[in-house]
Structure 1
C-alpha cells in the first residue's frame, strides 16, 4: 500500500481499487449514490462536508479511506453506542481499529497509547470523544504522529453537535478547531443527517474550514420507504393496546404469508421477530413498557443511561443479532444513533420527542435496508404541554456553571423553535409528512411519497382521527406535571 510523502501530497486511487475494497472488506456489492465521490474527495486531501439521511452509509466514507490509505484516521463521535458498534464491526472485517472512551479498560488504553506514541501506529482508525480531544496529552501524541506524516484525516461524526444552533449542541466540539489550526493540511470530513443552513455555516466557521475549497455534498432528506404516521391520543388514553394490536397484526400477517414464512425460514429467522425501537422520554416509562411487552409475549429490553453498562451492552448485542427475546428495544435517547442494523421494521415514539431533528434521526433508524418500514409518533396535547414545561425548567437552570449565558440562552431559543416545528408537524392535517420534513430542512430535492404517510393515504380520515383523539384542550399546570416527572428521568 503506497502512502503519501507529506500531508499535502496525496495519491490518487483507481476506481477498481475502491470497488475491490468495498466488496472484499465491507461485503457490499456497489457504492450508493455519491459515496464514491465523497470517498474520492477525502482521499485526494479535500475537506468534505456530507449531509445525508440515515441509511446513506456515511460511516463508509471515512472507514473505506482508512483501509486503503496510509496512516491513522481519527473518528470523533459523541455517541458511545455508535463507537462500540462500529469498532466491533470493523474488527470482524480484520481492520485494526481502537477506541478510547469510558468503557475502555486501563490495560487496553495503555496498549493503544503505546501504539500511538511511536508515531507509526498500527491502528488504522481511532474512535474518540470530543472531550478526549481537549486533553493536552492526546494532542501531544497527535503532533508526533503528524510529524511522521501518518495523520491521514479527521472524521467528525454527528457534526451538528458542533453548532450552538443545532439540536444537540455539545460544548467540547468547539475545541475541534484545534485540528485546522495545528494541522491545516490534514483533510477533515464532517458528517451529519440533520443540519439547517445556519447550522452548516456555524460548523464550517467553528472548525476554521475554508468554504471556498470545501467540498459540500448534500443528499435529499427523502426516505420513501418509510411510512410516517401520527397517532392522536386523548390525555387520559392508554395507547398501549393500540400499539400491541398493531404489532400482533404484523406478526399474524407474516405468519400467514407462505412465501414470506419460507423466506424467513431459509434465513433462520422467525415470523414473530419484527425488530423495532420504541423511544420514550423517561426512564420509568422505558422500563415499565418493556416489562409490559414481555408480559404480552413480545421480546423487549429496556435501554437507558441509568442501567449498568453490561445490561445495555447485552441488550444492544442481542437486538443486533436478532436473538430470541431481543426483538424490541425500548429506549431513551441514550440509545445512540448510527447503530448498524438494517432490518429495523418500525420505530415508535411513545411521546412527542424533544426536537424535530431528534424525531427525524430516530425515525431514520428504520428501514436502512430500503424495505418498507413504519414510523409511528403517538401525540397528545398533555405530552406537548409536558415537553414545553420540561423545556421551561431547563431554561430556569441557565446559565450553567462556567457557561456562556448568551450562548446558552440562544440554545434554548433554538430548542423551543425546533419543538414548536415538531408540534406543527404533528398537528398538521394539510400536507404530506415527507414534504413537511423536507421543508423543515430546506431540502429542495424531489420528495417521493407513494402513499407512504397518513396524509397521502387518507386525508379525511386523518382529520377525523385528530378530532377524535385530541379531546382535551386543557393546559395542565406546571405543578401537576412536575410532580410526576423530573429532569433526571431523561435519557
Structure 2
C-alpha cells in the first residue's frame, strides 16, 4: 500500500541545518532529495565526495515510516549508524556484527508494523531471510515502509566491478512492494551497468529519475609512476612526502594557516593502498622508521585495533598521519582533508582505482593521486582475477575493467582526467588545469614510461620530472 507523499512544503533546508548541521547542499543533492520525497524511483551515480548518503538519510528524517538501506559493507553501516545516532536519529543495523540483543530489539520494532527506527541498514543476505521479509511485509501493510535505498548499487550488475550474487535477489522488493520507491546509489557505473541495475531491480527506465554527475574531480592531481619489478619505489614516495613537509615548514603563510586550524606542519594525511597484509605492515613500519606517523589497516587486525586506528587518523592525531591499507579501507569514511592517495601497485579494477583515489581531497582542495605501475604487477593482477573462483561469474567484466586500467596507466598521449571521463561514458571532457602528469609535462611522461619500465635509470628519470621536489604548491 502506498505511502501518502505530502512533503513538498517541508523545509528541507531547515532539516539540513538542524539535523545534519550542514549549511548548504552540494550541487544536485537538493534535486535528488526532492525526487526521493516525491516518491520517484531514483538512480544516482556521483563521485566519492558527492555525499550520496544524505540523499536517502534526509528524506528518511522527513518522511513517515522507515527507510531500509542495503549495503555490502559492515564498516560503512556501522559508521553511518553511529553518525546518525549522534545526530539524534533513530537508526540501526542488522548484520553479522550485530549483537543478539540489538538484533532482537530491531526485529521486535519491525514486528509492530509501526517501527520507531527511521533508517535500518541491512546486508543483501539479510534481505533473503524469510523471517526478515515477513517483518517488512507487516510494516508495508501498515503503510510505513517509506523507501528502499541500495548503496554501492554497482554490486547488483554482473557487468560491474564488484558483482555480488546476493544483490540479484533484491528484485524481491519491487515484486512484493510495487509502490515503495527505490533509490540506487553508486560512485562507479558505466551506462551498461546503470541499465543493468535498473532492470535487475525491476524498475522502469523511462520512469526512473536518473542523476549522473561528472566523474571529474579537478582538484585531484593524477600521476602514474613507472617502475621495474626489481626496483623498490619506497624511496621515491618518501622523498616526495618529505619534500611536501619541507615546503609546508618553509612557507610562513602556510604555517600561519595551519596554526589557525591547529594542524601540524608535518601532518600530511594520506592513504596508501597495498595488495597484501604483509605489505601494509612492512610499508607502515618503514615509514615509522623514517619518522612518519603511519599505521597498517587490514582484516588481520582486531576490531578494536582497526577502530582505534581509524578514529585517531580521522582526528589527525600525532602518529596517525598515513594509513597503509588493503582496499577494504575507506568506504564511507568522512575525512575531508586527505591530501594524497597512493596505490602501491595496480588495483584490481578501474572502478576500484577511481573510488579509492576519490577519497583524496573531499574538501575540494588540491590533492595528489599516485599509481605505481609495473608490467610485472599487471601480470600478477591478471593472475589474481583468473584464479579467484569466487568471482568466476563475472570474469569477463573484471578482465575488461582491469584492461581499461592498464590502458590508462600505459597511455602517454592523453589527459588522465579525460581518460577517466571516457571510461565512464562522459561526452564532455573536463578542464584539466595541469592537474595530471600528461598536462604537466607530456615529453617527460613518455621518457619516464620508456625508462621506468625497462631500465635502471628510473630514479634519475623521476628526478628529471621533478617528482622529488617539484615545487608544486597545491597541497594545503
Q: TM-score, normalised by structure 2?
A: 0.93
- Aligned residue for 2:24, secondary structure, equals coil
Match of 2:468 in 1: none
Identify which of 359, 364, 370 aligns with 1:365: 359
Match of 2:8 in 1: 13
Match of 2:307 in 1: 313
- Aligned mates of 2:384, 2:397 — CA distance in 1: 15
Cα deviation for residue 393 of structure 1 reads 2.0
Cα deviation for residue 281 of structure 1 reads 1.1
Match of 1:281 in 2: 275
> In the alignment, is residue 418 of structure 1 matched against residue 401 of structure 2?
yes
- Aligned mates of 1:445, 1:78 — CA distance in 2: 32
Match of 1:42 in 2: 36
Identify unmatched segments of 5+ residues in structure 2. 457-476
Cα deviation for residue 472 of structure 1 reads 6.1
Deviations 1:395-436 (A, max 9, x none): xx4xx6xxxxxxx65611111111111111101100000000
Of 161-170 and 77-86, deviating more is 77-86
- Aligned mates of 1:327, 1:14 — CA distance in 2: 45
Cα deviation for residue 272 of structure 1 reads 1.4
What does 1:392-407 correspond to in 2, within 5 Å?
A: 392-394=386-388, 397=389
> In the alignment, is residue 254 of structure 1 matched against residue 257 of structure 2?
no
Q: TM-score, normalised by structure 1?
A: 0.90
Match of 1:450 in 2: 433
> In the alignment, is residue 460 of structure 1 matched against residue 455 of structure 2?
no
CA contact (8 A) 1:19 1:30 kept: yes
> In the alignment, is residue 337 of structure 1 matched against residue 343 of structure 2?
no
Cα 1:472–1:391 shift into 2, 3 Å: farther
Match of 2:453 in 1: 470
Match of 1:433 in 2: 416
Deviations 1:122-161 (A, max 9, x none): 1111111111111111111111111111111110000000
- Aligned residue for 1:212, secondary structure, equals helix
Identify unmatched segments of 5+ residues in structure 1. 1-5, 401-407, 474-491
Cα deviation for residue 325 of structure 1 reads 1.5
CA contact (8 A) 1:77 1:127 kept: yes
- Aligned mates of 2:80, 2:239 — CA distance in 1: 35
CA contact (8 A) 1:282 1:332 kept: yes
- Aligned mates of 2:147, 2:49 — CA distance in 1: 23
Match of 2:111 in 1: 117
Deviations 1:349-377 (A, max 9, x none): 00001011110010011111111110000
- Aligned mates of 1:109, 1:267 — CA distance in 2: 41
Of 100-109 and 36-45, deviating more is 100-109
Identify which of 87, 102, 106 aligns with 1:93: 87
- Aligned mates of 1:469, 1:152 — CA distance in 2: 55
Aligned residues: 456
- Aligned mates of 2:265, 2:8 — CA distance in 1: 45
Deviations 1:287-330 (A, max 9, x none): 11111112211111111122222211222121112222211111
